[in-house]
Structure 1
């Protein structure tokens, strides 16, 4: 849950939200809104369409979450006299579309927290899990659905999800849905909704295609772009950024030393590829760090196991790809390390935004390989950063120790005295009934098919036969004489069709032997009987017999 900032003296109660919602937020220590929340709530609470843009980590979830929750009618509203009983329904009244599973879980948790006092029913609908629990939750009745486009379309196509009563639609991280190719699916979902509704679109960046999407489906939206008074750059001001030019073979050593910096809490390491993320997580585990991995090659059970272990403090290093660059809101993340240069400036902003959230301070370190210098310079120019020529850095460089507060004498292996975390294995893995062909977990079990393939096969003895009779049959002792005789008798009694039939050469429908007998000279024949002429066969000379011209 994103906490409130101390930049404003206005409270959520001052903005006119329901007392039950304010009570639920105060129970978790949230009383003062962020700028994006303070500017959005007066516009969104009456039901106007909104385009919200703010930096990652500045409270966009509550910016659309509070107006969404207050547009939903629940039994608590009937008891308080704010609604009539006929306004209640069991089908979803609000829909939030998000691009990733991790962000779906994060938004669901935030909405459950804010709507706890009013007992708002929120369901998370996303892929990688079994259909049955989600379908059962929809049958019991939900007020708000948070989901990814693929699973939402799937359940709606099976008529398990009804969207006819949706009053509020929220598109969260629309630019990421554009990058992942989800915009056609999002448009199909929008066409299933009632024409009369409130639509809110929130994102950290607004590419042209997202703006055109907003123009098509939003009615006279108010574009809100909120920043803090002392925060002028593209990234949050309280994040200290470092960019180093590092060799790929030395990066594991550099990362191992950064993870031993003074004051380091939880850390997230971002990689471009799934293979690199898995490899770095294994290397750090061998070096003594409590590390987990989140990437697309893992099953949903393993991904959620790693995230739970990270939130619970059983692991303090999470190695991940960009699937975790959005939606991961964990308290205590002090360091973000870009093990590989991001693809573009948007990815960089979302990676770095995992730290320095809700007014806290953080450190972001980017390791740029020699081949990635041109890509990084484009990012640096787009964000107007002062790191156009990163300093060449190795694991033994003095400035690395000095800038990041690494104690002298630190090596690439965590001392045994500091290995106090329980580790990933201490977090139980949950059976989610995963869909799809790739189901992987932290400790995969061998399948029944692989076990059968490893069993020794029973060899069947081979017997040499000729014309259906055994050849070179070994002599058998007297004790085995009777079975052998019985077997021989059985073979003799078997029908002749069992033995392979020999082919006979024929000529014009007459057996070859008979034809030869007919054409052979017969001394007993009289001279008056003419000899039967022999048929000539047409032949074609081979190419070897044809003379060269």
Structure 2
């Protein structure tokens, strides 16, 4: 009914159930009005605005199929892909653009897309765009296109906001409604609906047995949250089913990979949020499972509409938990269904096996003989040049095992050889210094336990200052042993040596001094002592009395006595106030005389 009106150039509001062919209703009319492409015409003449990326891809594929004879150039623009391929296609010239509002406005802002010659505008799934908050973007798009245009608005439901939008931007539109008298929210009659009241912990077991029913084809499982999608997909994967998840947190490449694998039959279970509930047309979907109860009647209609399309039959199963009964009763009343009191069901209930044609004795794990699907890994992941940060979800078990095998096959790493120098000296020279110090220890006759102690190569390096080396070098030495030590440590100004060598050098230089004094008696040099260390001679270190408390838990604090005998004792605040009062007080006689004087003044 809408096709003749659209071909005549009138504004149309189309309303019909999902799966009735709304895409071709506006697509054929748009392609017919645009005509064949021309070389000198590069700006687009037709524009289709859709709410989701998956729907944009599907509408674009349908338009390409419809424009096979005309050769019209159709371009799909949406977020998650790189800008460069879309910009190059716009420069080459396009006839029809199918895209989401966000990416369309971005290209217009960057001056790569010109909408000044749009003659036909289509809003597909308009109610969903309003639910997602695209109304301001749609109004901006209306202001960018010419006033003389044909506008077509298509939706499965028609809320009040859509009516207000049509009155504002459409020119005397014709409302075409392909519905029965029962109401706009009627579900597809070819779908057999089942509503059960289940327990949360038992839902995954029911789904696992439902997926083994006789005659089951492709199945879509709808969850309310992204986290629930990942949880259900992971549990079904561990049970042996070929499953993939689709939701907003996945990258665009992963979402398209999952949809391609589902269409091609490499997987037979698709777990998704409501992002896949609008407009996704996939053949041979026999079962739809509402793992989480829908939030409203429109969501229920669109979820159930993924099966039973184009005259085929399907089965929808809705799980309702005890706390969701009130919400479900509202949906049931609005849609006029007969499930006001869902039947209490469990994975072992006989009616579950009977109504879904599940063989007796079926368990919640798919037998190995029935695992014939290739899986998601068999579908190639296309590199779309995605922008932004995508949250990658858990991989499949075989991928994890493959990566584990790669790690095990790696050859062992060769030991690292140190080539760095310390203080201008290589590692070999540092070892020679340590060996020389050990020789000094042997001459002195020290215990061999210290020499046998292993060197700690990973400790914090000690620092031997130049003052310590100079102080030891100033001592009278004799013999070849200390000469070798002096020759080894002379080039170092502030040499950093590892902890074991540093301790050996320090102890050797200290202990070598009495050995030399015994071997050769040095001549007394009283005048050199002040020259060697004048600061040390002048320093007088005062040893304070050490206080040992009787109890280790007692805290004792003794302040230093800084006063001397010549210091005057400072008066206290009370004594100062008392002295001030004494100075201000007059003698008794003066007081009485003062009083008599006062009387004499009054008498005079």
Would the TM-score normalized by the shorter structure come out above 0.5?
Answer: yes
Q: Would the aligned equivalents of 1:301 and 1:441 in 2 still touch at CA under 8 Å?
A: no
The residue correspondences of 1:106-145 to structure 2 (distance < 5 A) are 106-145=58-97
Q: Distance in 1 between matches of 2:377 and 2:354?
A: 35
Q: 1:359 aligns with which of 308, 311, 328?
A: 311
Pairing 1:487–2:492 present: yes
Distance 1:58 1:157, change over 3 A: same
Bigger radius of gyration:
2
Could you tell me how far apart the structure 2 residues matched to 1:344 and 1:144 are? 34
Matched position secondary structure for 2:317: strand
Q: What count of residue pairs does the alignment treat as equivalent?
A: 443
**Equivalent residue runs for 1:304-383 within 5 Å:** 304-383=256-335
Gaps of 5+ in 2: 401-412, 421-456, 470-480, 497-563, 575-604
8 Å Cα contact 1:231-1:237 kept in structure 2: no
Larger % of helix: which?
2
Kindly provide the CA deviation profile for residues 224-244 of structure 1, in whole angstroms up to 9, marking residues without a partner as x: 001369999700111100000
CA distance in 1, matches of 2:173, 2:195: 39
Please point out which of 148, 152, 157 is paired with 2:100. 148
Match in the other structure for 1:462: 460
Distance 1:339 1:479 in 2: 85
Q: TM-score, normalised by structure 2?
A: 0.68
Q: Once the two structures are superposed, what CA deviation does each residue of 1:314-358 show, in whole Å capped at 9, x if it has no partner?
A: 000000000000131111000000000011111111110000111
1:359 aligned counterpart, secondary structure? coil
What corresponds to 1:25 in structure 2?
none
The answer as to whether partners of 2:466 and 2:492 remain within 8 angstroms in 1 is: no
The residue number in structure 1 matching 2:361 is 409
Q: Name the CA shift for 1:486/1:270 in 2 (closer, same or farther; >3 Å).
A: same
Q: Residues 232-311 of structure 1 correspond to what in structure 2 (within 5 A)?
A: 234-311=186-263
Q: 1:185 aligns with which of 109, 114, 137?
A: 137
Q: Normalized against structure 1, the TM-score is what?
A: 0.75
Partners of 2:228 and 2:324 in 1: CA distance: 16
Return closer, same or farther for 1:413/1:144 CA change in 2, 3 Å cut-off: same
Are the counterparts in 2 of residues 174 and 203 from structure 1 also a CA contact under 8 Å? Answer: yes
- Contact conserved, 2:466 with 2:494, CA < 8 A, in 1? no
SS of the residue 1:311 aligns to: helix
Is there any run of 5+ residues in structure 1 with no aligned partner, and where? Answer: 1-38, 76-84, 447-454, 492-519, 522-532, 542-549
Cα distance per residue 1:47-94 (max 9 Å; x no partner): 10000000111111111111111111324xxxxxxxxx69x6111110
CA contact (8 A) 1:103 1:326 kept: yes
Corresponding position: 1:222 with 2:170: no
Measured in 2, the distance between the counterparts of 1:40 and 1:477 equals 109
Which residue is 1:428 aligned to?
380
Q: Distance in 1 between matches of 2:44 and 2:378?
A: 37
Distance 2:196 2:482 in 1: 85
Distance 1:144 1:156 in 2: 15
Q: Which residue of 2 aligns with 1:46?
A: 8
Higher mean displacement: 268-277 or 401-410: 401-410
Q: Give, in whole Å, the separation in 2 of the partners of 1:409 and 1:283.
A: 21
| Alignment partner, residue 21 of structure 1 | none
Question: Can you list the C-alpha shifts for 1:487-544, whole angstroms capped at 9, x where unaligned?
Answer: 22789xxxxxxxxxxxxxxxxxxxxxxxxxxxx99xxxxxxxxxxx99xx9x999xxx
Partner of 2:34: 72
Do 2:257 and 2:382's aligned partners in 1 also have CA atoms closer than 8 Å?
yes
Q: Kindly state the Cα deviation for residue 117 of structure 1 after the two structures are TM-superposed.
A: 1.4
Higher relative contact order (CA 8 A, sep 6+): 1
- Distance change >3 Å, CA 377–CA 481, structure 1 → 2: farther
Whether the aligned pair in 1 keeps the contact of 2:157 and 2:184 (CA below 8 Å) is no
Q: Assess if the C-alpha contact under 8 Å between 2:76 and 2:97 holds in 1.
A: yes
CA RMSD, 1 decimal: 3.5
Are the structure 2 counterparts of residues 468 and 441 from structure 1 closer, same or farther at C-alpha, using a change threshold of 3 Å?
farther
Q: How big is the shift at 1:462?
A: 3.4
